[in-house]
Structures are given as C-alpha cells and as structure tokens.
Amino acid sequence: MTNTDTTHKTYGTAELATLGEGQVAYVKPMISDEVRRLFPQAPELAPGLQLFALLSASGTPILLTDSRDAAVANAWAHDLQTVSLN
C-alpha cells in the first residue's frame, strides 16, 4: 500500500529561519568591505580581503575568519552540518 497523502505544510518566514537551528551552519564567503553589516563590532579591516563568515541556520553570525577550512572546522567542533552560501 502506498501513501497518497498530498497535504503540504506551509512555513512562514520566521519558521523557515529556524529550520536547522542548532544543527546547520552556513559558510558565506565575503569581502572585508561587507563585514560591518553582519559583524558591527568588528574592528576596521583592510578593504578587499577575502573572508568567510559562519552563520547559524537563522542567519545569526557565529564567526568570521580568513579561512574557509577554519569556518568549517569551527562548525564541526560544535556538531553543526555546514552548507555553503555564494
């Protein structure tokens, strides 16, 4: 017997933002010129540096580093699955 139930759950923006919270983190490449938007407390950085932000599933900033590997390692250290954002 197969399940033919086609009922779909609709998620609001707030619910979508929390899916994967505590389980998923995003690695987002960015240049230093964009850092203040996500990390307002960050010190002044030289322009044009390639950096990587680790963000929670809801988009909350966790970490800023100059190495994608360091961002991924930090996520793994906290038992978070990583996905990339371009």
Please report the pLDDT score of residue 36 as a whole number. 92
3-state SS, residue 62: strand
Please report the pLDDT score of residue 82 as a whole number. 85
**Longest pairwise C-alpha distance within the chain:** 63
pTM comes to 0.72
Nearest to 68 by CA among 33, 39, 26, 38: 26
Give the model confidence (pLDDT) of 70-81 as tens digits. 999 999 998 988
Give the model confidence (pLDDT) of 32-69 as tens digits. 999 999 899 999 999 999 999 999 888 889 999 999 99
